[in-house]
């Protein structure tokens, strides 16, 4: 018995199908083309025959290859029926859009006859491009069918061809169908099977019907299936024609108006094309003469694009949760939109509102119940988050510790939700998931549709939306409202970005500096022209998720109450965890859930923030960086950034640690690192100029060129950056009678030192205070002088009790001045410094220049605590102060906020009374105290 013939198999993915007598053109990949070319070269005739096997499964191409097919499942049968096809042509595809298309070749096939594989086709994607050889069998020769079957076939075919000819718009197409009908009438019974293949290939039937027709090998069975297919197609055509006629007859006034407006737009486009064409170009090749209908601008109106936008808007409304408030509002506004003419102004207003409503990421109850982030339940989640924070920022241990606490709470909640979910709950949750997937795949589902759809056309009569109750949404962990307070340049904004990376959430920044209108937070009402939602809703739309990280930058600079409203009061609802789950934007007018949003606020000071708003925030202070931290930050972040920004490489520019420390100490004096980055950038630009000149000189001198020196030492900085800014101030600081150094905090939150200067001059015993001082600091000066007068005898300033040191032995005035008179100064923390300055002036003793102090005093001689200890200590450290005198009650602030490195480098003296402060400032035994014993007389 002879062996069965073997043919190379080419799988045709859904919905491509080739029938006998038909021709087909498909794009193929280069690998498949190379294998086909090898078969063509081996063939004697030059046009080899392939087995084209259709694969009846819907699929998604993996790499865009036409031959890619899905794996066979248990519910489908492997393909076995196909067509023996002759390779007519194999050419390279011409393309202008892409220089390297995914389908660089086109294959032309001609169907010859039916075949069947002896073994079903195995769909292995790795072997399909190789055109595997398979054994095939050919059907028996066509026999003459019975006369009854032939007549039924001809009758169905003629009726279908007559309908196709009537429905044809183009005359040429109509003539073609009539010619085919005449051929069907005159064809013999022996040729009817061939005519059936030709007609089935020509009409647009369903894929499954054509696949069944291809599998029919017997002639009568083939004619019978073709007859059924023609009758089915004729019924579909007649029904479609009836529906189209009914719709055309029921055109409303609005639709007619829309049609006329579209015609008007087309006429205006043609007129614009006519007037924009110069007389010399009219009618020439490539010109834009009359009748082109296209002005060449992408801004021209596109009717199809507008229809696609409306269809996409409809899908988004249908995707909203059934029974939710946002879906009810969306359905109501959609019905209004369909009733209003498209040219109306109200139509544009409603459409814009629907676009905003559907673009907001509404929290889905289904997602909150079924979606558990794998990253949260991962055992290394906290370690990864801590590594992310450490990689982006150096130091800031207190801030990182608070963030890790929040992440740990989120992780524990996720683990608890994951472990407590039961199988019954999972089954109840999976059922609506499948229903939702089915509804999304069937776009014309009546229970989800806003208006009924039939044959791709929208009916005007709206239907009622399903009356279902809104599902109960599960609340997750409420995000804390963190407020980062610190000087500029300390990393508040970048810290928010690092938090978003650690949480794997989108990050949005809202700048509140200068915001003076409440509507910028809550949105404008829709009654206003050009109204829109507020910045909070806009940030949610940009983020695309209901749980982003939103940074409210510069919240201390937001405008206060005026005739536009109070923006800071509008933020109260946003930043209140007990209220923001139903935030009401005036434009959207639907409660928006902000409870899953992690809000981070930044501020330079707390003084301008209202008390109710401050009460809703968890304050985290970022006081500043030490010199050691600045050197590490410059080494890890700032220097590589400036090297890359100035076109250099790490081998072409290197700064030593001494050079970085020198820049941080004498060229910059700030809490942050912005000035430090600018100084490093100046060094990088200087070396960039030297490197460019070095390259030019090397090109001229050749081998005699000297070697490049890219290391910058601290002794070279004066040539690059100029004279140090802060070196003069350090030299001017000296021990002097009546001069004491106090600790201050500037308006931007930076700490520093300030000299308290006092001098005596002839007068009448008055105290003069200058330096733009406020009322509180003036009162501190008066309290300090009163205490010194009352204890002048104990301090050996006067010879007896009750003597005023400002009038005996000579009458003098004391002038106390705080430099930098242009800066406003106020607060009680200069009490100790003023007291020491008065004692130094009147006694002649001096306070060492490396000692600074802060603290409030009372008339009883007590030293009470003050604020801003961390910032003041950092400022003293930057000014190279070695000893700091602080109130005893501020000891906990030093131990909690000041880093151990600074505590080891500085000496802290905590005092309870003014006596202890004077001993710590002047030194033990410097002041001669008179300690008189109190005489007691005993009597019976």
Q: What 8-state DSSP symbol labels residue 851? A: E
- Expressed in angstroms, the distance from the first to the final Cα of the chain is 149
Q: Give the three-state DSSP class for 249.
A: helix
**Candidate list 154, 400, 789, 872, residue with the active-site label:** 872
Q: How far apart are CA 209 and CA 697, in angstroms?
A: 80
Q: How far apart are CA 746 and CA 487, in angstroms?
A: 9
Q: What backbone torsions phi and psi does residue 830 show, to the nearest 5 degrees?
A: -90, 10
Which contacts (CB < 8 Å, 24+ apart) does range 732-739 have?
733/849, 734/849, 735/846, 735/847, 735/848, 735/849, 736/846, 737/840, 737/841, 737/844, 737/845, 737/846, 738/837, 738/840, 738/841, 739/837, 739/840, 739/846, 739/847
**Candidate list 595, 829, 843, 899, residue with the active-site label:** 829
Q: How far apart are CA 107 and CA 601, in angstroms?
A: 62
Closest CA to 742 of 653, 800, 829, 658: 829
Give the list of residues 6+ apart from residue 112 with CB closer than 8 angstroms, or none. 20, 49, 83, 84, 85, 86
Q: Is 829 considered catalytic here?
A: yes
Give the list of residues 6+ apart from residue 610 with CB closer than 8 angstroms, or none. 560, 568, 569
Cα 313 to chain center, whole Å? 23
Q: How far apart are CA 231 and CA 235, in angstroms?
A: 6
Q: What backbone torsions phi and psi does residue 814 show, to the nearest 5 degrees?
A: -110, 125
Q: How far apart are CA 381 and CA 515, in angstroms?
A: 38
If phi > 0 it is left, if psi is from -120 to 50 it is alpha, else beta; for residue 396 that is left
Q: How far apart are CA 430 and CA 434, in angstroms?
A: 6
Dihedral angle, C-alpha 715, 720, 722, 727, nearest 10 °: -40
Q: Which residues pair with 773 in a beta bridge?
A: 825
Q: How far apart are CA 314 and CA 847, in angstroms?
A: 79
Q: How far apart are CA 505 and CA 498, in angstroms?
A: 10
Cα 861 to chain center, whole Å? 57
Q: How far apart are CA 590 and CA 120, in angstroms?
A: 58
Q: How far apart are CA 317 and CA 315, in angstroms?
A: 5
Q: How far apart are CA 209 and CA 236, in angstroms?
A: 14
Q: In 777-887, where do the E strands start and end?
A: 812-817, 851-853, 856-857, 863-864, 883-887
Q: How far apart are CA 538 and CA 585, in angstroms?
A: 11
Cα 895 to Cα 169, 267, 378, 390, 908, distances in angstroms:
89, 81, 35, 23, 11
Q: Which residues pair with 24 in a beta bridge?
A: 109
* DSSP conformation letters of 175-229: HHHHHHHHHHHH--GGGHHHHHHHHHHHS---HHHHHHHHH--SHHHHHHHHHHH
Q: Is 872 considered catalytic here?
A: yes
Give the list of residues 6+ apart from residue 238 with CB closer than 8 angstroms, or none. 163
Closest CA to 736 of 845, 627, 810, 617: 845
Closest CA to 783 of 888, 867, 865, 861: 861
Helix axes 535-543, 345-359, angle to 10 degrees: 60
Q: Which residues are catalytic?
A: 829, 872
């Amino acid at each position: 018995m002879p062996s069965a013939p073997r043919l190379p198999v080419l799988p045709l993915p859904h919905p491509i199908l080739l029938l006998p007598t038909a021709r087909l053109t498909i794009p193929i990949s280069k690998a498949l083309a190379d294998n086909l070319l090898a078969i063509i070269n081996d063939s004697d005739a030059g046009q080899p025959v392939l087995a084209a096997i259709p694969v009846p499964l819907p699929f998604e191409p993996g790499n865009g290859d036409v031959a890619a097919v899905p794996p066979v499942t248990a519910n489908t049968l492997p393909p076995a029926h196909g067509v023996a096809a002759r390779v007519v042509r194999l050419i390279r595809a011409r393309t202008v859009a892409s220089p390297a298309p995914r389908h660089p070749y086109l294959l032309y096939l001609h169907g010859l006859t039916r075949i069947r594989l002896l073994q079903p086709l195995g769909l292995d994607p790795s072997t399909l491009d190789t055109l595997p050889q398979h054994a095939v069998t050919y059907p028996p020769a066509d026999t003459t069918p019975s006369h009854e079957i032939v007549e039924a076939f001809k009758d169905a075919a003629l009726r279908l061809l007559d309908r196709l000819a009537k429905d044809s718009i183009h005359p040429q197409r109509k003539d073609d169908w009539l010619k085919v009908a005449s051929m069907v009438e005159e064809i013999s019974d022996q040729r009817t099977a061939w005519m059936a293949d030709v007609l089935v290939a020509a009409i647009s039937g369903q894929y499954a019907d054509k696949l069944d027709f291809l599998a029919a090998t017997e002639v009568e069975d083939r004619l019978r299936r073709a007859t059924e297919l023609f009758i089915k197609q004729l019924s579909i055509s007649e029904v479609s024609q009836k529906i189209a006629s009914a719709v055309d007859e029921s055109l409303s006034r609005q639709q007619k108006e829309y049609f006329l407006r579209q015609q008007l737009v087309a006429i205006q486009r043609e007129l614009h094309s006519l007037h924009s064409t110069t007389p010399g170009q009219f009618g020439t090749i490539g010109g834009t003469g009359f009748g082109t209908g296209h002005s060449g601008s992408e801004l021209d109106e596109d009717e199809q694009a507008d229809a696609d936008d409306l269809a996409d808007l409809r899908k988004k409304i249908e995707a909203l949760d059934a029974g939710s408030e946002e879906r009810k509002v969306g359905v109501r506004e959609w019905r209004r939109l369909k009733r209003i003419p498209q040219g109306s102004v109200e139509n544009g207003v409603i459409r814009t509102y629907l676009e905003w409503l559907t673009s907001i990421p509404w929290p889905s109850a289904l997602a909150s119940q079924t979606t558990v982030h794998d990253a949260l339940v991962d055992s290394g989640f906290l370690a990864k988050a801590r590594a992310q924070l450490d990689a982006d920022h150096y130091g800031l241990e207190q801030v990182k510790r608070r963030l890790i606490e929040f992440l740990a709470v989120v992780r524990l909640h996720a683990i608890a939700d994951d472990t407590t979910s039961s199988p019954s709950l999972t089954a109840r949750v999976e059922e609506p998931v499948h229903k939702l997937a089915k509804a999304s795949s069937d776009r014309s589902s009546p229970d989800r549709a806003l208006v009924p759809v039939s044959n791709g056309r929208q009916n005007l009569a709206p239907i009622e939306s399903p009356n279902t109750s809104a599902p109960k949404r599960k609340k997750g962990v409420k995000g804390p409202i963190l407020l980062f307070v610190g000087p500029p340049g300390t990393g508040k904004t970048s810290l928010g970005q690092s938090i978003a990376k650690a949480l794997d959430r989108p990050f949005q920044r809202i700048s509140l500096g200068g915001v003076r209108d409440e509507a910028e937070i809550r949105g404008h009402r829709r009654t206003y022209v050009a109204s829109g939602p507020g910045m909070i809703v806009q940030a949610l739309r940009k983020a695309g998720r209901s749980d982003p990280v939103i940074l409210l930058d510069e919240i201390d600079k937001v405008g206060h109450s005026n005739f536009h409203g109070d923006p800071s009061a509008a933020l109260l609802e946003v930043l209140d965890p007990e209220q923001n789950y139903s935030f009401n934007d005036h434009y959207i007018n639907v409660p928006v859930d902000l409870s899953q949003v992690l809000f981070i606020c930044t501020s330079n000071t707390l003084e301008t923030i209202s008390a109710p708003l401050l009460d809703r925030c968890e304050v985290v202070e970022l006081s500043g960086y030490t010199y050691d931290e600045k050197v590490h930050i410059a080494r890890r972040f700032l220097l590589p950034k400036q090297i890359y920004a100035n076109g250099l490489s790490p081998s072409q520019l290197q700064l030593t640690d001494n050079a970085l420390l020198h820049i941080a100490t004498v060229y910059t004096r700030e809490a942050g690192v912005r000035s430090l980055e600018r100084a490093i950038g100046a060094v990088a630009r200087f070396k960039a100029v030297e490197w460019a000149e070095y390259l030019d000189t090397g090109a001229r001198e050749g081998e005699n060129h000297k070697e490049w020196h890219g290391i910058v030492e601290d002794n070279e900085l004066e040539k690059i950056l100029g004279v140090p800014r802060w070196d003069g101030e350090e030299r001017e600081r000296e021990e002097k009678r009546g001069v004491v150094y106090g600790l201050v905090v500037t308006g931007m939150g930076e700490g520093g030192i300030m000299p308290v200067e006092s001098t005596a001059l002839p007068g009448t015993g008055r105290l003069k205070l200058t330096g733009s001082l406020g009322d509180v600091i003036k009162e501190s000066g008066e309290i300090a002088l009163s205490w010194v007068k009352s204890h002048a005898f104990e301090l050996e300033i006067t010879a007896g009790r009750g003597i005023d040191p400002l009038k005996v032995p000579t009458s003098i005035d004391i002038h106390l001045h705080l430099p930098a008179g242009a800066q406003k100064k106020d607060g009680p923390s200069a009490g100790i410094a003023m007291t020491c300055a008065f004692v130094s002036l009147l006694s002649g003793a001096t306070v060492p220049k490396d000692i600074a102090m802060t603290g409030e005093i009372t008339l009883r001689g007590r030293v009470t605590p003050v604020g801003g200890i961390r910032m003041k200590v950092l400022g003293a450290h930057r000014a190279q102060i070695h000893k700091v005198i602080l109130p005893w009650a501020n000891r906990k602030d030093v131990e909690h906020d000041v880093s151990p490195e600074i505590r080891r480098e500085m000496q802290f003296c905590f005092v309870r009374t003014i006596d202890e402060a004077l001993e710590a400032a002047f030194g033990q035994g410097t002041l001669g105290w008179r300690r008189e014993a109190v005489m007691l007389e005993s009597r019976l």
